[in-house]
Amino acid sequence: MEYAIELKGITKSFGPVAANKNINLSLAKGEILALLGENGSGKTTLMNMLSGIYMPDSGSIFINGEKARINSPEDSGRLGIGMVHQHFKLVERFTALENIRIGMRGNGRFIHGKDVRKKIEDTAAKFGFEIDLDKVVANMAVSEKQTLEILKVLCYGAKIIILDEPTAVLTVQEIDKLFAVLRAMKAEGHSIIIITHKLNEVMAISDRVAVLRHGEYIDTVVTAETDEKALTELMVGRKITLNIDRPVIEKTHPLLEIRDLTVKNDEGATAIDHINFYIRGGEILGVAGIAGSGQKELCEAIAGLRKIEEGKMIHEGESIVGMSPKKILEHGISMSFIPEDRLGMGLAPSLSITDNMILKNYNEAKGPFVDRKSAREEAQKVIERLEVVTPSTETPVRRLSGGNVQKVLLGREIKSGPNVLITAYPVRGLDINSSYTIYNILNDEKKKGTGILFVGEDLDVMLALCDKIMVICHGKLQGVVNSEHTTKEEIGLMMTGTLNIVNKEGKTDGIAKDSAFTSDEEDKSV
Amino acid sequence: MSKFHLVRRADARIWRTLLFCFIGIVISLTIGAVILWVLGIKPWEYYGKMFTIGLIGNKYGYKSIEGLLKIFVPLLITSLALSLSFKMRFWNIGGEGEFLIGAIAASIIAFHSTGTPNFVTVLLMCLAAMISSGIIGVAVAALKVKFNTNETLMTLMINYIMLYVIRYIGETKADWNFFLREDSKRAKFGTFPDSAVMGGIHFGKFNLLWSVIIAIALTVIIYIYLKYTKHGYEISVVGDSSATAKYAGMSVGKIVLRTMFISSALIGLAAALTVSAAGTISDTITNGVGWTGIIVAWLGKLNVPAVFVISILISILQYGCQAAATQYPAIDINFADLLQGIILFSVLVADFAANFKIARKEEAKNA
């Protein structure tokens, strides 16, 4: 077989930590290779050596059969390697065309606009991209930005394309579109490496799968000859079950009821538009929607962090509209939101785990001093219970890996014993093992009778974990479906606004039969 | 295409920082030595006098220590006060202006204090200075909280406004102007009545001013405040991520206002102690602590014990440079400033170099 890339004995250390140990990997011409591994297994480090960001300490790289030295991203580009990073590298104020053009190396000093446009349009047509070249990046949706990134590396003449977790931010339909493009690229003879956590995607798109574990190369297997279970075992190193539990619990009365909630976003546009829903004790209600459909604003509104324009929120019979975040917290509603950068809200990254434990209740200690002694004990408990990997309770949260950061956050949220837990993207960017730990924590809470609002990304997970799923599109409720009786496709259609079942068959979704709203109030709200 | 690029060192080590700072100081002293040599002064003699701050072979050595402490106290308190606001990522660079407001407020009390007991006067001076400086700090913080104005510009402007206010006071002969000497034809700042001049504890001839004791006590208090109290905790959270602070139910605006009040009030206190120790006011009373304090706070990484140690070192540098410069006719106080500038600059470069390294990009051999 002819290889586009061959890595032999690659080792890379950062100080005392070996990120990659003696890695051998090969990518055949015209194949799609999935690179699989848990967080911190060294996937991104390895790919960064191919794209010239890092240099290996030892080992050799062969590109198209020839030994290569890649000292800079320029070298990498010259060798025909293009990388699409997880965090896009685009100039927000520029149009798509300008973004592609700035990286072009012409022969002369000037590049003619017309030629560039022609070239880009041809490339886009060849692989089936849909893109408006004159749109400014700042106005683009995530999937458009990603399309632009891929188009960019193709225009620079890349024959080997590396995609770092490209599907993390896409909807089901968008992922299908992306995969179609990847197949078209493959048909044109391009070689592709795709990094992903999602096994169903690995099975769907790849020809072979290379597995890394703790910085070491484990094996490469042919996708057609393996299955998700076998891959997981390779990746984790032991047998684990892949089923997410959905324990059935006796549901209680609605704990939190939301009526006609309207909230604006930071720009003053309507983010949440007259939404109704309720959460019962002992159930997990999923919130599905394309990124930026108002999930963040919804969470913030419930937690008291965002002004409510209109509508009612009743928690255990008492209105929480207009309460301070602290009051709402004392009421037993706890919110944890994992933003894209994972650290922006909920944790103070430079502070220790101990200090982060008491973020919400430091004020309860008597006197002017912070009670660090009990905080340390709580931190220790969370570390033990949730298996947080950390040198000590005094380690700054910033130094922990993504999964451990999220465990710390969730651990703090549940230790206060809330009866409504709002959690947004709790497994964002986590590997399988850590994700399952988080699902188990949520299920344990559910068993205790807590009502959980789970804002998620991965529909497979939501279908398996949540009892019901409410779907929003542009801040409007599209319907609430029972996970037992729905399909991914139905939810996908609702997410894009094609399907709305709120008023299906005479009933109205999102309003509980045994609502705590009196008929009196009902009249007023109509 | 640049052949070199900067890389943050993965491991920041204290010994490396110290080593680099040492190298930086040696380089800057070498530059200074060349200048001295050109001017016909023996560098080692000059440096000898500088590092011993004129103590050796001087029967008035205790005067040197007193002079050193007079530089040290305002610098220490100002640096600590600035660390407080920097820790919250509130860029208070208005130390100079806040200091001058405090100095003027304290002087108003001082000039009207004939007859009141010394202890009461000094206490009133401190209170007046702290309140007036604090109010200005709160005003800037309020604009930031309410309208999201840029605190860097606001505090910077206060420096210039106050500088011209004090110059105006110092140059305007008028009946209302009690700041000036009545018996002098030229406009000249008056001296405080004895009731407003700070006393101290006498050890033989050496007079340990109360302000030194206050400054050291403040260091301990601020250390505890930042490290162990709820307020200190709130400052760290707001500084780290104000979104998180808001989410945790903290009222960020209140914390910013409170911390800025404390920060500015402390600078006002430094000013009151300084004018009281000096027994007069002038337009150079700040001795640049509003600026030097920024450097001290950052070199100390906003860590209270480190700020304390660095304040001592910088004070020795300042006082030593001045003390040595006054003993040679060929150079004056400006040379001391020049040398200080070179040393501080190289220390900052050293600090940077200890945290970053320049990596060479190897040229591609297969290009």
Q: What is the pLDDT of residue A525?
A: 42
In terms of average pLDDT, the best of A464-473, A498-507, B214-223, B283-292 is: B214-223
CA-based nearest residue in chain B for residue A364: B230
- What are the structural domain ranges in chain B? 67-310
- For A367: left if phi > 0, alpha if psi spans -120 to 50, otherwise beta; the answer is left
Judged by CB atoms closer than 8 Å, whether chains meet at B236 and A75 is answered as no
Residue that is last in its domain, among A366, A398, A416: A416
- The pLDDT of A55-80, averaged and rounded, is 88
Judged by CB atoms closer than 8 Å, whether chains meet at A347 and B244 is answered as yes
Residue that is last in its domain, among A416, A440, A465: A416
- State both tokens at B344: 């501080």
Question: Strands, E, within A17-72: which ranges?
Answer: 17-28, 32-36, 58-63, 66-68
A313 and A412 inside one domain: no
Q: How many Å apart are CA B152 and CA A147, to the nearest integer?
A: 40
CA-based nearest residue in chain B for residue A328: B249
User: Model confidence at A111, in pLDDT bands (50, 70, 90)?
Assistant: low
- State both tokens at A62: 């062969």
Q: How big is the CA angle at A306 (ends A301 and A308), to the nearest 5 degrees?
A: 70
Q: How much of chain B exceeds pLDDT 70, in percent?
A: 94
How large is the C-alpha radius of gyration of chain A? 25
- The residue among B245, B237, B218, B234 whose CA lies nearest residue B307 is B218
Looking at the DSSP assignment, which residues form a beta bridge with residue A191?
A160
Contact residues of B toward A, CB < 8 A: 1, 10-11, 228-233, 236-237, 240-241, 243-249, 361-367
- State both tokens at A229: 């279970």
Instruction: Please tell me if residue A323 touches chain B, with a CB cutoff of 8 Å.
Output: no
Nearest CB neighbour to B240, from listed A78, A350, A363: A350
A355 and A489 inside one domain: no
User: Model confidence at A526, in pLDDT bands (50, 70, 90)?
Assistant: very low
A285 and A141 inside one domain: no
Kindly state whether residue A341 falls inside one of the protein's structural domains: no
Q: What is the pLDDT of residue A305?
A: 82
Judged by CB atoms closer than 8 Å, whether chains meet at A305 and B365 is answered as no
The answer to whether the beta carbons of residues A420 and A428 sit under 8 Å apart is no
Residues in B touching A343 (Cβ below 8 Å): 241
Nearest CB neighbour to B237, from listed A14, A68, A359: A359
Count A/B contacts: CB-CB distance under 8 Å.
83
Pairing type for strands A3-14 and A17-28 reads antiparallel
Residue A524 has pLDDT above 50, yes or no: no
Residues in A touching B1 (Cβ below 8 Å): 74
pLDDT digits (tens, 9 = 90+) for A278-295: 999 899 999 998 777 888
Judged by CB atoms closer than 8 Å, whether chains meet at A305 and B363 is answered as no
Judged by CB atoms closer than 8 Å, whether chains meet at B243 and A350 is answered as no
Q: How many Å apart are CA A51 and CA A66, to the nearest integer?
A: 16
Q: How many Å apart are CA B198 and CA B312, to the nearest integer?
A: 22
A296 and A363 inside one domain: no
CA-based nearest residue in chain B for residue A302: B247
Amino acid at A55: M
A195 and A84 inside one domain: yes
Q: What is the pLDDT of residue B145?
A: 93
Among B241, B301, B363, pick the best mutation site for testing chain A contact (most A Cβ within 10 A): B241
Q: Which long-range contacts (CB under 8 A, 24 or more apart) does B108-111 make?
A: B109/B196, B110/B192, B110/B193, B110/B196, B110/B275, B110/B276, B111/B178, B111/B179, B111/B190, B111/B192, B111/B193, B111/B196
User: Model confidence at A109, in pLDDT bands (50, 70, 90)?
Assistant: low
Kindly state whether residue A31 falls inside one of the protein's structural domains: yes
- The residue among B363, B332, B292 whose CA lies nearest residue B93 is B292
Nearest CB neighbour to B233, from listed A305, A355, A360: A355
The answer to whether the beta carbons of residues B125 and B276 sit under 8 Å apart is yes
- Smallest CA–CA distance, residue A441 to chain B, in Å, is 22
- Smallest CA–CA distance, residue A131 to chain B, in Å, is 32
Instruction: Please tell me if residue A350 touches chain B, with a CB cutoff of 8 Å.
Output: yes
Q: How many Å apart are CA A205 and CA B233, to the nearest integer?
A: 49
Instruction: Please tell me if residue A369 touches chain B, with a CB cutoff of 8 Å.
Output: yes
H runs (alpha helix) in A55-211 = 73-78, 96-101, 113-127, 142-155, 172-187, 199-205
Instruction: Please tell me if residue A139 touches chain B, with a CB cutoff of 8 Å.
Output: no
Q: How many Å apart are CA A206 and CA A224, to the nearest integer?
A: 9
- The pLDDT of B221-244, averaged and rounded, is 93
Nearest CB neighbour to A348, from listed B240, B364, B366: B240
3-state secondary structure of A251: coil
Instruction: Please tell me if residue A74 touches chain B, with a CB cutoff of 8 Å.
Output: yes
3-state secondary structure of A136: strand
Nearest CB neighbour to B248, from listed A78, A344, A359: A359
pLDDT digits (tens, 9 = 90+) for B301-318: 899 999 999 999 999 988
Judged by CB atoms closer than 8 Å, whether chains meet at A370 and B233 is answered as yes
- The residue among B177, B190, B162 whose CA lies nearest residue B101 is B162
- The residue among A465, A459, A471, A474 whose CA lies nearest residue A446 is A465
The answer to whether the beta carbons of residues A441 and A387 sit under 8 Å apart is no
- The residue among B276, B113, B108 whose CA lies nearest residue B177 is B108
Residue B92 has pLDDT above 90, yes or no: yes
Instruction: Please tell me if residue A346 touches chain B, with a CB cutoff of 8 Å.
Output: yes
Residues in A touching B365 (Cβ below 8 Å): 69
Q: How many Å apart are CA A122 and CA A128, to the nearest integer?
A: 10
Nearest CB neighbour to A370, from listed B228, B246, B248: B228
Which CATH number fits the domain that encloses residue A217? 3.40.50.300
Kindly state whether residue A338 falls inside one of the protein's structural domains: no
A37 and A109 inside one domain: yes
Instruction: Please tell me if residue A329 touches chain B, with a CB cutoff of 8 Å.
Output: yes
CA-based nearest residue in chain A for residue B362: A71
A217 and A112 inside one domain: yes
Q: Which of A457-466, B263-272, B309-318 is predicted with the least confidence, judged by mean pLDDT?
A: A457-466
Residue B8 has pLDDT above 80, yes or no: no
The answer to whether the beta carbons of residues A448 and A284 sit under 8 Å apart is no
A422 and A318 inside one domain: yes
Nearest CB neighbour to B248, from listed A68, A75, A360: A360
- State both tokens at A432: 């399988």
Q: What is the pLDDT of residue A234?
A: 85
Q: What is the pLDDT of residue A171?
A: 73
pLDDT digits (tens, 9 = 90+) for B110-153: 999 888 899 999 999 999 999 999 999 999 999 999 999 999 99
- The pLDDT of A120-145, averaged and rounded, is 86
Q: What is the pLDDT of residue A161?
A: 93
- The pLDDT of B335-357, averaged and rounded, is 86
Q: How many Å apart are CA A376 and CA B10, to the nearest integer?
A: 28
In this structure, the number of other CB atoms found within 10 A of the CB of residue A202 comes to 20
Residue that is last in its domain, among A416, A440, A463: A416
Kindly state whether residue A435 falls inside one of the protein's structural domains: yes
A87 and A123 inside one domain: yes
Q: How many Å apart are CA A37 and CA A168, to the nearest integer?
A: 15
Answer positive or negative: Cα dihedral of A398, A399, A403, A407: negative
Looking at the DSSP assignment, which residues form a beta bridge with residue A477?
A472
Residues in B touching A363 (Cβ below 8 Å): 230
Residues in B touching A68 (Cβ below 8 Å): 366
User: Model confidence at A179, in pLDDT bands (50, 70, 90)?
Assistant: very high
What is the domain count for chain A?
Answer: 3
Burial class (CB in 10 A: 0-12, 13-18, 19+), B36: buried
Q: How many Å apart are CA A280 and CA B184, to the nearest integer?
A: 85
In terms of average pLDDT, the best of A56-65, A106-115, B52-61 is: A56-65
Longest CA–CA separation in chain B, Å: 87
pLDDT digits (tens, 9 = 90+) for A70-98: 888 888 888 999 999 877 888 888 999 88
Question: Strands, E, within A29-107: which ranges?
Answer: 32-36, 58-63, 66-68, 81-84
Residue A507 has pLDDT above 80, yes or no: no
Judged by CB atoms closer than 8 Å, whether chains meet at A369 and B247 is answered as no
- The residue among B167, B106, B140 whose CA lies nearest residue B264 is B140
Alpha-carbon distance values, B245 to A154, A394, A451, B214 (Å)? 44, 20, 25, 33
CA-based nearest residue in chain B for residue A342: B244
Q: How many Å apart are CA B13 and CA B28, to the nearest integer?
A: 23
Kindly state whether residue A131 falls inside one of the protein's structural domains: yes
Judged by CB atoms closer than 8 Å, whether chains meet at B240 and A351 is answered as yes
Average pLDDT score over chain A? 84
Residues in B touching A72 (Cβ below 8 Å): 361, 364
- The pLDDT of A144-167, averaged and rounded, is 88
Whole domain around residue A54: which residue ranges? Answer: 3-236
A451 and A312 inside one domain: yes
Instruction: Please tell me if residue A80 touches chain B, with a CB cutoff of 8 Å.
Output: no
In this structure, the number of other CB atoms found within 10 A of the CB of residue B263 comes to 30
Judged by CB atoms closer than 8 Å, whether chains meet at B230 and A347 is answered as no
- State both tokens at A409: 């956050």
A185 and A57 inside one domain: yes
Q: How many Å apart are CA A325 and CA A335, to the nearest integer?
A: 10
Residue A107 has pLDDT above 60, yes or no: no
Instruction: Please tell me if residue A360 touches chain B, with a CB cutoff of 8 Å.
Output: yes
pLDDT digits (tens, 9 = 90+) for B173-196: 888 889 998 888 888 899 999 999
- State both tokens at A244: 């997410």
| Residue of A355 and B58 predicted with greater confidence | A355
**ipTM (interface pTM):** 0.80
Q: How many Å apart are CA A409 and CA A428, to the nearest integer?
A: 13
Q: What is the pLDDT of residue B111?
A: 93
Q: Which of A2-6, A230-234, B89-93, B141-145 is predicted with the least confidence, judged by mean pLDDT?
A: A230-234
B65 CB-near residues (< 8 Å, 6+ apart):
B55, B206
Residues in A touching B10 (Cβ below 8 Å): 14-15
- Smallest CA–CA distance, residue B263 to chain A, in Å, is 19
| Residue of A177 and A401 predicted with greater confidence | A177
H runs (alpha helix) in A416-513 = 432-447, 459-465, 488-495
The answer to whether the beta carbons of residues A272 and A298 sit under 8 Å apart is yes
- Smallest CA–CA distance, residue A356 to chain B, in Å, is 9
Residues in A touching B233 (Cβ below 8 Å): 355, 358, 362, 370
Q: What is the pLDDT of residue B367?
A: 30
Alpha-carbon distance values, A275 to A257, A258, A313, A338 (Å)? 11, 7, 11, 22
Pick the CATH number of B67-310 from 1.10.3470, 3.10.50, 2.30.30, 1.10.1740: 1.10.3470
User: Model confidence at B366, in pLDDT bands (50, 70, 90)?
Assistant: very low
Kindly state whether residue A339 falls inside one of the protein's structural domains: no
Residue B298 has pLDDT above 50, yes or no: yes
Q: How many Å apart are CA B171 and CA A142, to the nearest integer?
A: 64
CA-based nearest residue in chain B for residue A68: B366
Answer positive or negative: Cα dihedral of B147, B153, B158, B161: negative
